[in-house]
Amino acid sequence: MTVVAIDGPVGSGKSTVARMAAQRLGYLYLDTGAMYRAVGLLATEAGVRLDDEAAVVPIAAHAELRFDGDGRLFAGDRDVSGLIRSLEMGAAASVVSVLPGVRRLLVERQRTLGAGADIVMEGRDIGTNVFPGAEVKVFLTARPEVRAARRADELCAKGEEVDVDEVLDALLERDRRDSEREVAPLRKAADAVEVDTSKLSLDEVVAAVVAIVRDKVAS
Ligand code: DC
């Protein structure tokens, strides 16, 4: 069984690349950021402070998060896949993901979902923390301006009104919070292959990731 860990900052192309690479390889795909976003959404709806660990951890514990076969995320019976994709929920996810109790719960869930499977799992700490023994580790990066433009395009496509400078500011703020937190910060694992996607097309990145996986699996 092969775990492919794909980590990287906001807008590095992780989600799309991981999903497409998984499809091409015939592996399962798990978007761990969606789980932090769902906890952010539920905490926002509950009206608690997002940095209040004593309030947010029970919400995460009772969230009953599950993915269906099409990659949609449910909290209990409710499909939250669309709701979690806003700029606001990205920021909320980044705040609740700092809380060690939230991370403990979600990481445990991620390890269970990944155990014994051929899976591409993407996030911030997959290669460093969730599956430090993953057979394949990829760290995707891109220049901040490129990442902001991609994020803005994604949000526009969903009908959200966005200002690229605002997206860039939110992204830099999120990078800072994700990289500076104490528990499992965003960083490249020592044994990860870094791919700078700034000048590559989506197809080129997917092809590079698939090649890295096939290379490792063959050797
Ligand atoms: O990948 P994303 O934008 O959906 O992630 C949302 C936030 O969740 C991100 O800012 C930090 C957090 N996150 C995390 O801490 N660890 C992960 N493995 C995935 C996401």
Q: Which of 65, 18, 15, 8 is nearest to 208 (CA)?
A: 18
pLDDT tens per residue across span 112-158: 999 999 999 999 999 999 999 999 999 999 999 999 999 899 889 88
Q: Which two tokens stand for residue 22?
A: 């998984």
pLDDT tens per residue across span 53-106: 999 999 999 999 999 988 899 999 999 999 999 889 999 999 999 999 999 999
Instruction: Answer yes or no: are the C-beta atoms of 135 and 62 closer than 8 Å.
Output: no
CA distance 72 to 78: 10
CA distance 34 to 30: 9
Instruction: Answer yes or no: are the C-beta atoms of 127 and 7 closer than 8 Å.
Output: yes
Q: In a mutational test of the pocket of ligand 1, which residue from 17, 94, 108, 128 has the highest number of ligand atoms less than 8 Å from its CB?
A: 94
Distance 120 CA to ligand 1 centre (A): 15
Looking at ligand 1, which residue's alpha carbon is closest to its atom 10?
Answer: 94
* pLDDT mean over 184-199: 94
Does the Cβ of 124 fall within 6 Å of ligand 1? yes
pLDDT tens per residue across span 31-48: 999 999 999 999 999 999
Q: Which sequence spans correspond to the domains of the chain?
A: 3-218
Distance 218 CA to ligand 1 centre (A): 31
Does the Cβ of 11 fall within 6 Å of ligand 1? no
CA distance 174 to 18: 21
Question: CA 123, 31, 136, 145 torsion: positive or negative?
Answer: negative
Distance 105 CA to ligand 1 centre (A): 14
Domain 3-218 indexed as CATH 3.30.420.40: no
